[in-house]
Amino acid sequence: MKIVHFHNPGSPNVEQYKDMFAEHGIAYEQHPEFLSAEEQMAACRGADAIVTSILKFPREIIGQLDESVKCIVRTAMGYEIVDVAAASERGIYVCNVPDYAMQEVAMHQVALIMALCRKLKIYDQFVHSGEWTRQSMVPGYECRRISTLTVGLLGLGRIARNVARAMLSMGAAVCTYDPYLSRETVEALGVKYCATKDDLLVQSDVISANIPLTDESYHIINADAISKMKDSVIVVNTGRGGLVDTDALVAGLQSGKIKAAGLDVYEVEPFRDMDHPLMKMDNVILTNHVAYQSTESFEELQYKSALYAMQGALGEMPAGAVNRDCREKK
C-alpha cells in the first residue's frame, strides 16, 4: 500500500506521520505540486491514497487513476479542486478537514469586523506617519458602536456560529440566510432568521459570506446584491474568493455604497497586483489567506489529513469523507 503526497513548501505536511503509516504497512511518497498532467499521473501510479493541497484533480485526471486509489484527501476545509462526482463514480472517497480551524477563521473574521468598525488601519497609519490627531475622520467612514449594528451572515455553519456568538456577546444583532436551516434552529442560537438573501441584504450593517464556493454561490455578493445593501455597509470575506465579485466590490467602495471591506481571500491568488484599486484604499484591510493559521490548527490539519489518508489506504471509510456513499454508487 502507498500514500502519495503532493506537497509544496509552506503547505500542510504529513511526512512526519510516515512512521505511523509504516506501522500499518503503508509506504509514503512525496512529490511537488507544480506538475504537468503527465507528471501528476506518473506520480499517482500505484497509490492507494492521495493527499493534495493545491494540485487539482479534475475528471480527466480521476478517470485515469489506477484502480488501487481509494481516497483523495484535500488538506483544507474546501474540496473544490477535486471533482467529487467523478471520484464517486469510481468509488473513490474525497476527504477534507472542515473543522480544524473553526476558532481561527471565526476570530479572524471578527477581527476584521472590529478593525473596520474602529478604523484601526487608518489610526495605525497616522501614528506611523508621525501625525497625532484624534479627529482623523474620513468622510463617509466614521467609527461605529458594535451594539448598534446588525451583522448579516450568509450561511450559519460552524465558523459562522462562532462569529455569531462573538458578535452577540458585544451586543450586536445577528441575522442569517441559510436555506438549509429551519427558523427554529436559527432562532435557538439567538440569531434572526431571514427567509431570503434579500431580507439579509437590506437590514445588515456588516455582511459576511460563510458558505462553500459552488456554481450557485459564485459571486453571491455581486453588483445586484450590493445595490440592495444598506448604504455604508461593511463587507467581509474569509471564505472563498469567488463568493465576491471583485469588480463589483471595488465599484461599491468607490461609490461609497460600501463603507469598508476586509478580505482574506481573492478571486485570483496570490493577489499581488500593486496597481489594483483595493491596494490603494485606506478603508480596506487585506490579509493573505491566513485566517486559518495558528500553531494548533496547523498541527490538527496535518494529523487529520494523515489519518484520513491512512484510513482510506487501508480500505476503510475515512472519517473526513464528503461522499460517504460513493462505494454504493460505483
269 catalytic residue (yes or no): yes
- The Cα 153–Cα 204 span in angstroms is 9
- Beta strands 2-6 and 27-31 are parallel
Q: What is the pTM of this model?
A: 0.84
SS3 content of the chain, % helix, strand, coil (to 5): 40, 20, 45
In the set 39, 187, 269, 296, the catalytic residue is 269
Q: How confident is the model at residue 330 (pLDDT cuts 50, 70, 90)?
A: low
Question: Which is more confidently placed, 326 or 165?
Answer: 165
- Reading the block at residue 299, the C-alpha cell is 498541527
* Residue 223 forms part of a structural domain: yes
Looking at the structure, do residues 130 and 241 belong to the same domain, yes or no? yes
C-alpha cell at 245: 465579485
Please indicate, yes or no, whether residues 155 and 74 belong to a single structural domain of this protein: no
Residue type at 321? Answer: A
Residue 74 has pLDDT above 60, yes or no: yes
Average pLDDT score over the chain: 94
Listing DSSP states for 244-290 in one string gives B-HHHHHHHHHHTSEEEEEES--SSSS---TTSGGGG-TTEEE--S-
Catalytic residue, from 90, 276, 289, 327: name it.
Answer: 289
CA dihedral (11, 16, 20, 23) in degrees, to 10, reads 120
Q: Which sign, positive or negative, has the C-alpha torsion 54, 57, 61, 62?
A: positive
Q: CA 243, 248, 253, 256 torsion: positive or negative?
A: negative
- Structural domain count of the chain: 2
Question: For residue range 181-210, what is the model confidence (pLDDT) as tens digits?
Answer: 999 999 999 999 999 999 999 999 999 999
Same-domain pairing of 160 and 243: yes
- Please check whether residues 116 and 86 belong to one and the same domain: no
155, part of any domain: yes
What would the grid cell of residue 26 be?
A: 503503508
Same domain? For 132 and 250 the reply is yes
Same structural domain, 233 and 275: yes
Residue 330 lies in a domain: no
Please give the C-alpha separations between residue 41 and each of 21, 36, 75, 261, in angstroms, as whole numbers.
Answer: 22, 9, 19, 41
The reply to whether 312 falls in a domain is: yes
On whether the CB atoms of residues 257 and 229 are closer than 8 A, the answer is yes
For the beta carbon of residue 61, count every other beta carbon within 10 angstroms.
Answer: 18
Q: Using DSSP, how many helices (H) and how many strands (E) does the chain show?
A: 13, 12
Is the per-residue pLDDT at 58 higher than 90?
A: yes
Q: Are residues 227 and 311 in the same domain?
A: no
Closest by CA to 52, choosing from 66, 71, 38, 25, is: 71
What the block records as the C-alpha cell of 289 is 489567506
Residue 170 located in a structural domain: yes
**Residue 241, domain member (yes or no):** yes
The SS3 of residue 311 is helix
CA 13, distance to chain mean position in Å, is 19
**CATH at 306:** 3.40.50.720
Burial of 108 (0-12, 13-18, 19+ CB in 10 A): buried
pLDDT of 327 = 81
Distance CA 191, CA 185 (A): 9
Distance CA 3, CA 47 (A): 6
Q: Are residues 109 and 231 in the same domain?
A: yes
Query: For a pLDDT cut of 70, what percent of the chain falls above it?
Result: 97
In a domain, 235, yes or no: yes
Kindly report, residue by residue over 118-172, the tens digit of the pLDDT: 999 988 988 899 887 766 566 667 888 999 999 999 999 999 999 999 999 999 9
Task: Give residue-wise pLDDT tens across range 29-40.
Answer: 999 999 999 999
Let me know if 289 is a catalytic residue: yes
Shared domain for 131 and 260, answered yes or no, is yes
Whether residue 117 is found in the same domain as residue 91: no
DSSP assignment letter at 56:
-
**Mean pLDDT calculated for residue range 310-319:** 96
Rounded to whole angstroms, the Cα distance separating 114 from 121 reads: 11
Q: Which domain holds residue 38?
A: 2-100+295-325
In this prediction, residues 73-77 reach a mean pLDDT of: 93
- Tell me the pLDDT tens digit for each residue of 252-300: 999 999 999 999 999 999 999 999 999 999 999 999 999 999 999 999 9
Q: Is residue 114 part of a domain?
A: yes
Q: What is the pLDDT of residues 100-112, one digit of tens each?
A: 999 999 999 999 9
DSSP labels, 185-223? HHHHTT-EE-SSHHHHHHH-SEEEE-S---TTTTTSBSH
94/155 same-domain check:
no
Q: Verify that 129 and 233 share a domain, yes or no.
A: yes
Active site residue 240: yes
One-letter amino acid of 258: I
Give residue 132's pLDDT. Answer: 79
173 and 151 in contact (C-beta within 8 Å)? Answer: yes
